Amino acid sequence: MKILVPIKRVIDYNVKVRVKADHSDVDLANVKMSLNPFCEIAVEEAVRLKEAGTATEIVVVSIGNKSCQEQLRTALALGADRAIQIDTEEKLESINVAKLLQKVVEEEQPQLIILGKQSIDSDNNQTGQMLAALTGMPQGTFASNVAVEGDKVNVTREVDSGLQTVALNLPAIVTTDLRLNEPRYAKLPDIMKAKRKPLDVKPAADFGINLAPRSNVIKVTPPAERQAGIVVSSIDELVEKLKNEAKVIS
């Protein structure tokens, strides 16, 4: 089967973001960017399915300007076969990303689409579900296990109360949770090889989709600062403070 893996370039998860002084957005100038951690897990899962003989081809796709080719090359180095960059300078909302991906799905006809459950910048957790709605496919969100069996895929999902397993008709959409797998590191020879793998660039405008924004960001502010705390020297002092000063225990 063919697997499509949409990926996103985001601020590195270790970077502590700063809000711009004019409160228009966060400051991304000269900040380290990486492949979204959940997308890494999605790529890894696709590669494992290929290694297991279940998948025959892995196509990765990213939407953004030329800089996201860096993350597409990373995915190619990890084992994807070819890449598509949908070129745009716009910062798109999930619904518009899902609409562009729908066109890619129509063209590529993958049997399985694996996305991360959320991107760590917008924290939306929407794109996979929206793409499932637009393509009419079933969805296995927050996956911690994926097992393809014939024309179905069994997905174990991380839910509030524990785990839930669902069976989905293929073609289907899976979004990855942290526990699905541990992504590998790209090896140097594979990074070199990845430079020769095909990477198609398609302007977003060519898809004929209205990508007009659905919302205005009015402002972005830093969260409220917490008051500096104190270091206590003993359990006795801690219990006394919690009882008499904070009054949170009795």
Partner 1 sequence: MSILVFAEHDNKSLKADTLKTVAAAQAIDGDIHILVAGSNCADVATEAAKVNGVSKVLVADNAAYEHQLAENISLLVTELAADYDYILATALTTGKNFMPRVAALLDVAQISDIIAVESADTFVRPIYAGNAIATVQSLDSKKVITVRSTGFDPVATDGNAEVVTIDSVQDAGISSHVSDEISKSERPDLGAANIVISGGRGMQNGENFALLEGIADKLGAAIGASRAAVDAGFVPNDMQVGQTGKIVAPNLYIAVGISGAIQHLAGMKDSKVIVAINKDPEAPIFQVADYGLVADLFDALPELESKL
Does residue 249 interact with partner 1 by CB under 8 A?
A: yes
The backbone torsions φ and ψ at residue 230, rounded to the nearest 5 degrees and listed phi first, read: -125, 155
Does residue 227 interact with partner 1 by CB under 8 A?
A: yes
Q: Which of 69, 88, 94, 181: binder of partner 1 (CB under 8 A)?
A: 94
Identify the sign of the CA torsion 42, 48, 53, 58: positive
Q: Which of 22, 89, 123, 151: binder of partner 1 (CB under 8 A)?
A: 123
Q: Which of 197, 181, 187 is nearest to 76 (CA)?
A: 197
In the complex, least distance from residue 167 CB atom to partner 1, rounded to whole angstroms: 5
**Are 143 and 174 a contacting pair, CB within 8 Å?**
yes
Left (φ > 0), alpha (ψ -120 to 50) or beta: where does 242 sit? Answer: alpha
- Using CB under 8 A, count the residues that bind partner 1: 81
Does residue 126 interact with partner 1 by CB under 8 A?
A: yes
Does residue 218 interact with partner 1 by CB under 8 A?
A: yes
List binders of partner 1 among 15-54 (CB under 8 A): 16-17, 19, 26, 38
Does residue 166 interact with partner 1 by CB under 8 A?
A: yes
Residue with tokens 């003993």: 234
Does residue 127 interact with partner 1 by CB under 8 A?
A: yes
Does residue 219 interact with partner 1 by CB under 8 A?
A: yes
List binders of partner 1 among 51-90 (CB under 8 A): none
Buried b (16+ CB within 10 A) or exposed e, 184-209: eebeeeeeeebeebebeebebeeeee
Does residue 161 interact with partner 1 by CB under 8 A?
A: yes
Q: Which of 98, 105, 143, 194: binder of partner 1 (CB under 8 A)?
A: 98
In the complex, least distance from residue 179 CB atom to partner 1, rounded to whole angstroms: 6
What is the C-alpha separation between 40 and 21, in angstroms, rounded? 32
Q: Is the peptide bond before 171 cis (omega within 30 degrees of 0)?
A: yes
Q: 158 vs 190, which CB is nearer to partner 1?
A: 158
Q: Which of 191, 199, 211, 242: binder of partner 1 (CB under 8 A)?
A: 242
Does residue 139 interact with partner 1 by CB under 8 A?
A: yes
Q: Which of 11, 132, 8 is nearest to 62 (CA)?
A: 8
Does residue 111 interact with partner 1 by CB under 8 A?
A: no
